[in-house]
Amino acid sequence: MPQLGFHLFYCSMVYTVQPIVLSLIKENWSGMENLPTCRPVLQYLAELKGHLETTHEFASQHAQKAQEQYAKYYNAHAHHKTFQVGEEVIVLEKDFNSKTFSRWCTGEVLRVLSPFSYIVGMPNGSKRHLRANCIES
């Protein structure tokens, strides 16, 4: 798993350890076996807080690295689309014959509202307000 920095084997070990931990808790609650209580509660809570802080730092660092990698990959392949008034475009439109599929049809840019938003005239005479990601040149 590249995001966490762990091998898949280590993640699968959690599931094999979990039943052992649960059986120890069950035995303790049922009174069959007492768990060793050699540490005071305050010391245990202080150690637990330290472990949680360390885990938080580790997760934050790896999440930051993963986010940077995702952004780098996206930015390498992304490009801005710009269209001019009067330009003929292809529009991704919902297909009324199918709920799961869309179809491409032609249109003409009538007005630029913002760099990513356009008013497009459709062949049937209607006008649609569309984002740039639904339009191709």
The reply to whether the predicted model has a pTM over 0.75 is no
Mean pLDDT, residues 32-56: 78
Q: How far is CA 50 from CA 37, 53, 55, 95, 112, in A?
A: 19, 5, 9, 56, 55
On average, the pLDDT of the chain sits at 80
Instruction: Give residue-wise pLDDT tens across range 53-98.
Output: 999 999 999 999 999 999 999 888 877 888 999 999 999 887 777 7
**Residue 32, pLDDT above cutoff 80:** no
Domain ranges of the chain: 8-77, 88-136
Which CATH architecture is the domain 88-136 placed in?
A: Roll (2.30)
Which amino acid, residue 8? L
